[in-house]
Structure 1
């Protein structure tokens, strides 16, 4: 098994507490509402939302993927940290055991936030990962974050 690590940052004008609440704490309802074409639904299969919770994410009609299952690994509301693993579904492409994501929101000097993300791809056997596929996935995730930002800017009383 190989492990491939990728880091990224997304900057938003939304303060960390507001973005964390919308995107991570209420994300199961918020994200399908903001981008229904990308994420059709999120349902809790097991647990209550905290660490150990299993969620099924069903993708929208135009997506290349059907679904994934996430396992919440860590949820730290005070420090704006959310960690989860993709443990089942199309995103694993029969080449990955799992993908882990560690996300932290930090305050930026302008009152917004910086979303720092580290993802680790655990391959089955000695399979190599195509960086272009990883980059495409990162761009989609960044697009979700920017859609959330646009919604929150257009609806300042939300969250």
Structure 2
């Protein structure tokens, strides 16, 4: 198995606590409302919502992914999960892991730090164009959440 790691940062005008509550803790409810093209539904298929929980996310085109919650730290606004099955994984990818931290930024906003680790099968290499596409989708989702929170200042306080 090969491993390829990418580190990315996104910025937001929203404080870490609100952003974490919306983008992580209530993602199953919020994303289908604010990004119907990105997610149709999410359902826990195993577990109680804590580490070890496996969730199936279905997209509007019928494709899906299963992700496993590896860890969550409510006090430090961080979590990690792995995509373990689904249409996003190619024959060359065993899984994709994400570690995400929401850190306070000067001026009251946040810096979202994401470490993505691609676990490849054998000596396969990561398709960098697909990795870039995934990063852009993640950035877009964070911006949608930010826009929602700015338009709804009493939400997720």
1:6 CA drift (Å): 0.4
Aligned to 1:82: 79
Aligned to 2:90: 93
CA distance in 1, matches of 2:47, 2:107: 37
1:129 CA drift (Å): 1.1
Aligned to 1:21: 21
- Corresponding position: 1:154 with 2:151: yes
- Corresponding position: 1:136 with 2:136: no
CA distance in 2, matches of 1:90, 1:75: 25
1:60 CA drift (Å): 2.3
Aligned to 2:124: 127
CA distance in 2, matches of 1:79, 1:150: 23
1:132 CA drift (Å): 1.4
Runs of 4+ in 1 over 6 A off after TM superposition: none
Aligned to 1:37: 37
Secondary structure at 1:56's aligned position in 2? strand
* Residues matched between the structures, number: 156
TM-score by length of 1: 0.95
TM-score by length of 2: 0.96
Deviations 1:8-61 (A, max 9, x none): 001000100000001101111111111011111111111111100000011123
Give the RMSD, CA atoms, in angstroms. Answer: 1.0
1:45-56 map, 5 Å: 45-56=45-56
CA distance in 1, matches of 2:13, 2:91: 38
Aligned to 2:64: 67
* Structure 1: segments with no counterpart, 5+ residues: none
- Corresponding position: 1:106 with 2:103: yes
